[in-house]
Structure 1
Amino acid sequence: MRKPIIAMILFLSLLSIPPANAENNILRSDTPYRHVVVPGDTLWGIASRFLNDPWRWPEIWGLNREQVKNPHKIYPGDAVILKRTPYGYRLSLEDPEDGIKTVKLSPKIRSELSDTAAIPSIPAAAIEPFLTQPLVIEKDGLDTAPYILGSSDNRVVLSTGNTAYISGLPNDKGSAWQIFRPGNALKDPDQKDRILGYEATYLGNAKASLFADVSTVTITRATEEILNGDRLVPSPDNIFNNYAPHAPDFPINGRIISVYGGVTEIGKDSIITLNKGKMDGLEMGHVLAVYRKSQAKSLDGETVQLPEERTGLAFVFRVFDKIAYALVVQSTHSIKLLDAVKTP
């Protein structure tokens, strides 16, 4: 009887001791050995429970490069466990036959998130408005798009629930439309004369009810004031791929060139625009470290560049040729325009 008791004590003591090898640099000191997924969890959030560096999720999950682009579907009720393997510690889904049974909800194909949908990489609500918007256009890219002529009661400003009349609305693009206004030029701060694209300002959604020479739409959502002359584009399908969070396997050295909302102080959950894109190798799911660029005055009045200080992490969720959009998932200090983003 004594040997089984001793064995059980040794087993329990091992569970309370963090791994004492090089993987200590990967695993948190307080990492759990099991986490049951609940609605609202994200891949990033679960990775943060186990890892010091959440972007190393594919490494500890044992994913190869292609699997990163199509990670295992994880659903509420699944249990993520940490276990020792011949290749080191690995995260995996618990097999009910190996021990405690896990309630696993059957996946269903749905257009919206639900308690039975696979959990996303990052909070969907934070980025949902940015997944289907063009955001970046060519110069004069909206000039030929249908536009708002006005309303029957001559409103100057249109908002949710108002009826609007549209010139040039085609009848073969569906009834769902988005409303935009041409925005500012996005310039590369490292090459002053280089324009990366033009931002389109998203104003809201509209649904067409009548197609004619002058078509009729109802504004179903307004995020800003909508005016005569604002342009309409068809609503595209959701294009977000649920990539596992991962660091680029090559050096990236970019900058933050704009922030959604026009603020100057950037923090967690802010949407930022980067001056790097597909042509630089960026892809959805890449995690980049943010570094503050600071200066100080020497005693003789000269400007001195201080060493860069890491201030946060950003998760890339949409990529264009020369530009990418990212969600700030962590910030230890305020982040500002022109701060650097690099491979962590």
Structure 2
Amino acid sequence: MRKLIITMILFLGLLSVTSIKAQEIELRSDTPDHHVVVPGDTLWGIASRFLKDPWRWPEIWGLNRAQVKNPHKIYPGDVVILEKSLHGIRLRLSEDDEYGVKTVKLSPKIRTEQSGTSAIPSIPAAAIGPFLSQPLVIEKDGLDNAPYILGSSEGRVALSTGNIAYVSELPKDKGSAWQVFRPGKALKDPDQKDAVLGFEATYLGNAKVNAFSDVSTVIITHASEEILKGDRLVPAPNTIFNNYAPHAPDFSLNGRIISVYGGVSEIGRGDIVTLNKGGLDGLEMGHVLAIYRRSQAKSLKGQTVQLPDERTGLVFIFRVFEKISYALVVQSTQAIKVLDAVKTP
């Protein structure tokens, strides 16, 4: 059963929509007049079917800043309709008997509603799930005081999934779920003479406490890499995916891609990248930035000439630290490289 109450709230919200002038938002040449939402759809994917600039989706729903952060839910079976008129364009959900979907008049009684988890997400949650709780950005020596692996009773050098390990200085008030990290590479800002923005701790796996003591016993429940003596434990966060709708920052921002997860040399759609801008620069989850390639050429006189920046893709910000953000590449027209620029689209 569709979530009728939330659908009605959405309809009421749309009554006050101020249409956007058609020339301000470009539609795709093959834009359909409607789209039936199916399992696996995302807000980004639906917007991409209608708009050349998918991040402008919230504008033609008439959402304000608060609603953009927590958009109305859209569920499989809903029909998204594109309306075009002399006054502009807008997207809305179908009502009455359009496309076989009927509005039901509600009267006071107990109703069964869909779970919020069945609403379609902004972007594929599986693509970023592991990154909502890892990697970890820390200060220099930020793990020095964290609990650490002493070893195992079998004398194993490297621990993996299912192995029992012993941990020193594990507090009892932080819960039984922990993550294992190892101090990693420095994240440097190429625009500030390689100033260090933080250190990316390498995620190694998960552990669960079997018994607390002066030397606690844990079991390695997941190992993405070998876990060694001296590796550090951090309490596992309660990860909640805040399903922010894609939207451009309302301010000008210029940053850079400073690393890519997996160490590949050329970056493409679906890759995770690290940016040298974060919460202190105004970035927040849901922001969309355009990627630009910075190229140079030699003049006939042998001088290095900076060529105009060429747009090569888009990134969706999904995790933000003070000076650093992690983003998913949601669009790429050419290979993207570390040190390419990111800007407000």
TM-score tier (shorter): 0.7 to 0.9
- Alignment-derived partner of residue 107 in structure 2: none
Within-5 A mapping of 1:63-78: 63-78=63-78
- Alignment-derived partner of residue 101 in structure 1: 101
Within-5 A mapping of 1:133-148: 133=134, 135-148=136-149
Deviations 1:280-317 (A, max 9, x none): 11111111000111112223322222211111100001
- Alignment-derived partner of residue 27 in structure 1: 27
Deviations 1:232-278 (A, max 9, x none): 11111114311110111111100011111122211111111111111
Are 1:188 and 2:189 counterparts? Answer: yes
- Alignment-derived partner of residue 46 in structure 1: 46
- Alignment-derived partner of residue 159 in structure 1: 160
Q: Distance in 1 between matches of 2:116 and 2:208?
A: 25
Deviations 1:118-153 (A, max 9, x none): 111111111001112362111111111111111121
- Alignment-derived partner of residue 264 in structure 2: 263
- Alignment-derived partner of residue 343 in structure 1: 344
- Alignment-derived partner of residue 83 in structure 1: 83
Are 1:278 and 2:285 counterparts? Answer: no
Task: Name the amino acid aligned to 1:184.
Answer: K
- Alignment-derived partner of residue 15 in structure 1: none
Structure 1 pair 211/54, CA: closer, same or farther in 2 (3 Å)?
Answer: same
Task: Name the amino acid aligned to 1:276.
Answer: K
Task: Name the amino acid aligned to 1:182.
Answer: P
Within-5 A mapping of 1:52-63: 52-63=52-63
RMSD: 2.1
Whether the aligned pair in 2 keeps the contact of 1:206 and 1:218 (CA below 8 Å) is yes
Report the alpha carbon displacement of residue 215 of structure 1 after superposing the two structures with TM.
1.1
Task: Name the amino acid aligned to 2:267.
Answer: I
- Alignment-derived partner of residue 121 in structure 2: 120
Task: Name the amino acid aligned to 1:264.
Answer: S
Q: Distance in 2 between matches of 1:195 and 1:168?
A: 30
Greater mean alpha carbon deviation, residues 208-217 or residues 293-302: 293-302
Q: Distance in 2 between matches of 1:200 and 1:46?
A: 35
Q: Look up the SS of the partner of 1:217 in the other structure.
A: strand
Q: Distance in 1 between matches of 2:239 and 2:146?
A: 21
- Alignment-derived partner of residue 298 in structure 2: 297
- Alignment-derived partner of residue 132 in structure 2: 131
Q: Look up the SS of the partner of 2:184 in the other structure.
A: strand
- Alignment-derived partner of residue 210 in structure 1: 211
Deviations 1:204-247 (A, max 9, x none): 11111111111111111111121111111111111431111011
Task: Name the amino acid aligned to 1:299.
Answer: L
Task: Give percent identity, aligned residues only.
Answer: 74
Report the alpha carbon displacement of residue 80 of structure 1 after superposing the two structures with TM.
1.3
Q: Which runs of 5+ in 2 are unaligned?
A: 1-20, 105-111
Q: Distance in 2 between matches of 1:234 and 1:65?
A: 33
Whether the aligned pair in 1 keeps the contact of 2:95 and 2:103 (CA below 8 Å) is no
Q: Which runs of 5+ in 1 are unaligned?
A: 1-20, 111-116
Q: Distance in 2 between matches of 1:102 and 1:152?
A: 65
Alignment TM-score, normalising by the size of structure 1: 0.87
Whether the aligned pair in 1 keeps the contact of 2:181 and 2:233 (CA below 8 Å) is yes
Alignment TM-score, normalising by the size of structure 2: 0.87
Whether the aligned pair in 1 keeps the contact of 2:256 and 2:276 (CA below 8 Å) is yes
Q: Look up the SS of the partner of 2:68 in the other structure.
A: helix
Q: Look up the SS of the partner of 1:190 in the other structure.
A: helix
- Alignment-derived partner of residue 6 in structure 2: none
Task: Name the amino acid aligned to 2:71.
Answer: P
Within-5 A mapping of 1:231-242: 231-242=232-243
Q: Distance in 2 between matches of 1:306 and 1:108?
A: 51
Greater mean alpha carbon deviation, residues 204-213 or residues 21-30: 21-30
Task: Name the amino acid aligned to 2:55.
Answer: W
Any runs of at least 4 consecutive aligned residues in structure 1 with deviations exceeding 3 A, and if so which?
A: 21-25, 84-87, 96-99, 102-106
Q: Look up the SS of the partner of 1:177 in the other structure.
A: strand
Q: Look up the SS of the partner of 2:286 in the other structure.
A: coil
